[in-house]
Every structure is written in C-alpha cells, then in structure tokens.
Amino acid sequence: METPLLPRATATMISPSRFPDAPAAARPEVNGYRTLPFASCYVYVPRGEGLLSEAGHLLCQRVKTSDPRWLPRYAVQVLELCARESSFRELFARDAWLVPVPGCTPAAVESAVAHRLAVALHALGLAHEVWPGITRRVAVTRSATAVVGNRPSVRQHYESFSLALAPRLPPRRIVLVDDVITKGRTLLAAAARLRGQFPHADIRAFAMVRTMGFLHRAERLLEPCVGFVHWGNGDARREP
C-alpha cells in the first residue's frame, strides 16, 4: 500500500503553539526534568481501524526501518513545517545540536534509526551539528513488543545510557531526536542524562511519529504538535 505524504491542508497545529520556557530541573528519581518540551509530526493509532490507520502503520514501519525512499520525504515535511510554523522554527534553531536517541540494544550509533533521521534533518540545514553523544550501555526490553507493565521505566532507560566525552564548546541548544514517542520515558531519561553534562543547555525533543494508543480510528496522519513530557507519580506522562 503506497501512501503519499498528505497535502498541507490536512496539517493542523494544536496548542501550545509555541515552546514556553520549561521549568527548572526539579530532580525527580533520575535527576532530570519534570517537564521536557517535545514536538512531533505524524500520528500512529496502533489499535486503529480503517484505511488511515493502515496507512499510519505503514508510515510508522517506514520510519522505524529508515526506508531510504521515504525517510528523506518525511524529513522534508519537517523543513516545510519550519517554514510555516514558528514553533518548529524555535525547535530546529541553527545553533541546535541534534542528539539521536539509541535503540533498545547496544549497537553501532550509525545504524540507529534516530541517527539516520537526525542526519537527514541536518542535511536540510535544520541544525548546526549531529552529535551521537548518547549510547546504550546495556540492553532494555523493546517497548513495542513488551506487554503493558513490563516496559522499561525511566530509571531503567537512564541507567542503561552512557554519554560520550563532551565537546570542547558545550552546545546551548540540544534537540533529542527519536523515531517514535509513546509515553516519552526514553526521551525523559535521555534528557536527564544530558542535563548532568550540560547543566545550562536548553534541552528539547523531537519524534517523527507519536502513538495514539487510546484512539480507535485515525482522522489524519500529518498532525504536527508541540507538547510536553511530564514527570509525575513515578512515571512519564505525555501531553498531547
């Protein structure tokens, strides 16, 4: 099933339309943020029915496999959003460093989906640098195949990460890049790791796709948003 990128008319922004300043780090269990700003482009309804839900499944698969025919097209969609939406321009600043989030197992950084996505975004001039500074030291359970309640916690992600030697000139803006965001545990843990090394950096996140697990039908695939991953009650919570 070949599904082209949806036309611009279907794209909608939901509030907040701009990135408010995130609260100062509040030192929860993993020494990180209580709130991490994030943005995403597409939605995926895992339990959805209908043609759009099927198309979302295909889109998510293309992103996760770094499909060379489609990943550049999805990256161009981000570039077009930056041209139209101030919230995306604020995220992909020219001085930003893109930091790919590693997969669930220790592996070569260059083979990670998030790294390929970050490289594609950087090639379009959306950031200053790609810095593969986070690696997975030990494997964690793959969230997509784990049963509910057995998915890695924020702390498990945090403890499985290692950081590379910091660059000589610390970045002022860091954008974590991931392929898919569900609850945001991985991104929150990665942000907490980076905060320890770059205490004064503005750290935000971007995921190409966000899952909508409670919906039964997708109304559109291209639905850009700016939101937050919150820390509360011992877990991550994503809005929207």
Cα–Cα distance between 195 and 172 in angstroms, integer? Answer: 12
Residues 75 and 120: beta-carbon distance below 8 Å: yes
- Note the pLDDT of residue 73: 96
pTM: 0.87
Q: Which residue has the tokens 């877990």?
A: 235
Average confidence (pLDDT) over 103-113:
89
Task: Say what the pLDDT of residue 216 is.
Answer: 79
**pLDDT (0 to 100) of residue 32:** 52
- The pLDDT of residue 19 is 45
**Most confident by average pLDDT, 98-112, 145-159, 180-194, 207-221:** 180-194
Nearest to 88 by CA among 56, 118, 126: 126
> What percent of the chain clears pLDDT 90, i.e. is strictly above it?
69
3-class secondary structure per residue, 162-217: EECCCCCCCCCEEEEEEEEECCCHHHHHHHHHHHHHCCCCEEEEEEEEEECCCCCC
What is the per-residue pLDDT for 8? 37
Q: Are strands 161-163 and 173-181 parallel, antiparallel or unpaired?
A: unpaired
Q: What is the DSSP letter of 142?
A: -
pLDDT at residue 109 in the model:
82
pLDDT band at 94 (very low <50, low <70, confident <90, very high): confident
83 is written with which tokens? 């041209």
Instruction: Quote the pLDDT of residue 33.
Output: 61
Question: If you write DSSP's letter for every residue of 32-53 in order, what string do you get?
Answer: --SEEEEEEEEEE-TT--SHHH
Nearest partner of 175 among 91, 72, 77, judged by Cα: 91
Q: How far is CA 56 from the centre of its chain?
A: 17
Judge whether 25 and 33 are in contact, CB under 8 Å.
yes
Torsion region of 57: left, alpha or beta (phi above 0 gives left; psi -120 to 50 gives alpha) = alpha
Is the C-alpha dihedral spanning 175, 126, 40, 186 positive or negative? negative
* Spatial contact of 127 and 172, defined as CB atoms under 8 Å apart: no
Asked if residue 152 has pLDDT above 90, the reply is yes
What mean pLDDT do residues 140-165 have?
A: 87
Question: When comparing pLDDT for 213 and 160, which is higher?
Answer: 160
Give me the chain's average pLDDT, please: 86
Encoded amino acid at 215, one letter: L
Residue 147 has pLDDT above 80, yes or no: no
pLDDT at 3 over 80: no
Find out whether 201 and 208 touch, Cβ atoms under 8 Å: no
Tens of pLDDT, residue by residue over 6-62, are 333 333 333 333 444 433 333 344 445 689 999 999 999 998 889 999 999 999 999
Per-residue pLDDT at 210 exceeds 80:
yes
Choose between 234 and 239: higher pLDDT. Answer: 239
